[in-house]
Amino acid sequence: MDLVVLVGSFFAMLFLGIPIAFALCLCSVLYLALYQSVPLIIVGQQMLKGVDSFTLMAIPFFVIAGCLMQSGGISKRIVDFARKLVGWMPGGLAVVDIVASMIFAAMTGAGAATTAAVGGIMIPSMEEEGYDPGFASAIQAMGGIFGPIIPPSILMVLYAVASGASVGDMLLAGLLPGLFLGAVLIVVVVIQCIKKGYMGSGKFNLGEAVKSFGNAIWALLAPVIILGGIYSGIVTPTEASAVCCFYCLIVGIFVYKEIKIKDVGKIVYGGVKSAAGIMLIVAATQVFGWVVTRAGIPQTIAKMFTSSITNPIVFLFAVMLILLVAGCFIDAVPALLIFAPIFCPTAQAYGIDTVHFGIVMVITLCIGLATPPVGINLYVASSVGGQPVHKIIPHLPIPLLAIAVGTIIVVLVPGMSTLLPSLI
């Protein structure tokens, strides 16, 4: 009965539209008040403990860096470079959208930021070229899922904190799966565009591509600085996020000259507000996770899995299915923080590599970023593209199925996740 109250009250509050951070705290307080003889001051202590982490400081810095990139002309130059590189292909602008999203993902680590920054440029461009507006918005919603997959990644940092895995290993492990899933999505979208009659524009021109690369070089150096700094040992992941933030500020003000000194405070304030929302969820999930552990739910689930499933691959697919369903109703950040402490001990009992398991969790939850009813990328693309969600959803099943199949391949080929960390 106590578990029914805990879980049931949580979903009841979500159904009533209560913000997820408050729902997590309120259902935890209700459970503690009814079934546990502990002082409720533990709630505040656990919330503070949840955010009292040097590693988590990377999150606000990456979020602010994303805001600086949007305002500093970095995203615009990335899109132009992608257009010169792949715009000639069938479905050229749709492919440009995906490639630009993948490049931008390598600098921000967030799906919504990637969707907004690239979509604000690409969705109107695709509409001008005759693309169906709903299809254009759907492609951008799918492109945005690479934000948390391709390093750096806010979700990877959160998983590392929740599971005890190396932050550096998690960041690097997402690169090959992210590129692979990007290639899968591009192939499927090109086939769709050929059927719809969306052709590319012009022919590939090496000179223009090189010139565009030169214009975007300062933007493209950001991920090199981040990952190069981490893996050379010069900076920690948290310090790298701060360096990235400072770098984007310098480029936006002095190189591209699209950020005015007077606007810096406003841009940073917008990033801080977004980061504060994420950190509040982190604090709330710490409380919920503590209550869940005290209630014995992880042990119960582990026993249920180990008694009924003997194959680690079957376990991974079971986790995928659970996370796919959860991702439709819970945003990726709280879902990861809720489920990682529950599933990680069981995965380790099966002998599954912690880094590989983290990649599977992150990718699966990222699919939820583009699925109704809660997918944040879906609503950001709807807002940026000016299209109602119900006109975007019919264009999503095929790309979503392609990413799901690609994720299954990632599950079956763990070396795709573990190769680069093992080499470093």
Per the prediction, the chain carries an average pLDDT of: 80
* Euclidean distance between CA atoms 126 and 368, whole angstroms: 24
Residue 303 CB neighbour total at 10 angstroms: 12
Per-residue pLDDT for 226 more than 80? Answer: no
CA distance 140 to 152: 20
| Whole-prediction pTM | 0.76
Mean pLDDT of 199-215: 77
Position 306 scores a pLDDT of 63
- Is the predicted pLDDT of residue 408 greater than 90, yes or no? yes
pLDDT value at residue 45: 84
Mean pLDDT value across residues 262-281: 80
pLDDT band for position 141 (50/70/90)? confident
Task: Please state the rounded mean pLDDT for residues 56-84.
Answer: 76
pLDDT at 22 over 90: no
- Spatial contact of 392 and 372, defined as CB atoms under 8 Å apart: no
% of the chain residues with pLDDT over 90:
7
Closest CA to 151 of 168, 131, 133: 168
More confident residue, 403 or 288: 403
- Asked if the model's pLDDT at residue 268 lies above 70, the reply is yes
Residue 401 pLDDT class (50, 70, 90 cuts): very high
* 329-351 pLDDT tens trace: 677 777 787 788 888 888 888 88
In sequence order, the 6+-apart residues with CB closer than 8 A to the CB of 303 are none
Q: Which of 60, 175, 74 is nearest to 117 (CA)?
A: 74
Among 35-39, 113-117, 277-281, 410-414, the range with the most confident prediction by mean pLDDT is 410-414
As a whole number, mean pLDDT of residues 246-275 equals 83
Look up residue 334 and give its DSSP letter.
Answer: H
pLDDT over threshold 90, residue 90: no
Q: Is 215 within 8 Å of 80 (Cβ atoms)?
A: yes
Higher pLDDT pick, 1 / 125: 125
Q: Is the Cβ–Cβ distance between 104 and 220 less than 8 Å?
A: no
How far is the C-alpha of 170 from the C-alpha of 177, rounded, in Å?
12
Q: How far apart are CA 287 and CA 266, in angstroms?
A: 32
Residue 397 has pLDDT above 80, yes or no: yes
150 phi/psi in degrees, rounded to 5:
-75, 130
Across residues 283-293, what is the average pLDDT? 77
Q: For position 392, what pLDDT does the model report?
A: 85
pLDDT at res. 87:
72
Confidence of residue 181 (pLDDT cuts 50, 70, 90): very high
* Residue 180 pLDDT greater than 90, yes or no: yes
The structure tokens 């990413």 sit at 403
pLDDT confidence bin for 374, thresholds 50/70/90: low
Q: What is the pLDDT of residue 106?
A: 72
Residues 6+ apart with CB under 8 A from 54: 236, 238
Mean pLDDT computed over 82-94 = 77
Would you state the pLDDT for residue 184?
Answer: 92
Residue 409 has pLDDT above 90, yes or no: yes
pLDDT band for 323, please (50, 70, 90 cuts). confident
Q: What secondary structure does DSSP assign to 178-229, as a single string? A: HHHHHHHHHHHHHHHHHHHT----S---HHHHHHHHHHHHHHHHHHHHHHHH
Q: Residue 242 pLDDT > 90, yes or no?
A: no
